[in-house]
Amino acid sequence: MKVCLKILGISLISSVLSIAKSSAQSESEVQDSLYVFMSEDCPISQYMLKALAQIDDEYYQRLEVIAVFPIRSSSKSSAQEFLASEGLSFFKIILDHNQEYSRRYEARVVPECKFVSRDGLVRYSGRITDAYSDLGRKKHRSETHDLQKYLEAFYKHGQKEIEKTEAIGCKITFFPSH
């Protein structure tokens, strides 16, 4: 449906979908959170938006996705525009200019994700997919959709183990904390 929206260029339908997803989340208690550390300027963040859209399509009733922008040049409007490019305008946005969330969740690169279950534990930490083997080294196609695989194991098979993968992305430059 999102592909059709882009072809037709209809933003009204996208807004209706956003409202429908927001209503579904507020009606059924969102139990878990997915913090995705991103930057509008990072090509790997840009590339991973499609994978995040697929994850959200499958898990939006159980999972609140929070896009965290730890780069000081990010603004609310640039973050919204960035996410809207893949129809993700309903993600919650946190401008992490003081890098509080980045420090708390030990994010080192963008994109990097942290899946936090309702009990407050970071159950998954790392990459979204293995599309990049290193900075500037994109594979022809992803072989492993790490985050998707973990969420499936967690929600469908009851996996509770903590898992970490190495996130490949643009380094977050940390500023001295105040």
Over the stretch 80-98, which tens digit does the pLDDT of each residue have?
Answer: 999 999 999 889 999 999 9
CATH of the domain at 80: 3.40.30.10
- Whether 112 maps to a domain, the answer reads yes
Q: Which of 12-16, 58-62, 112-116, 162-166 has the lowest mean pLDDT?
A: 12-16
176 domain-assigned: no
Give the range among 1-5, 25-29, 61-65, 172-176 with minimum mean pLDDT. 1-5
Average pLDDT, the chain: 84
Domain-located, residue 178: no
The answer to whether the beta carbons of residues 67 and 101 sit under 8 Å apart is no
Determine how β-strand 63-69 pairs with β-strand 170-171.
unpaired
The answer to whether residue 28 sits within a structural domain is yes
Q: pLDDT tens across 18-33, in order? A: 444 444 444 456 589 9
What range defines the domain where residue 45 resides? Answer: 2-171
CA distances to 37, 44, 131, 144 from 141, rounded to whole Å, are 22, 13, 6, 9
82 found inside a domain: yes
Question: How many domains does one find in the chain?
Answer: 1
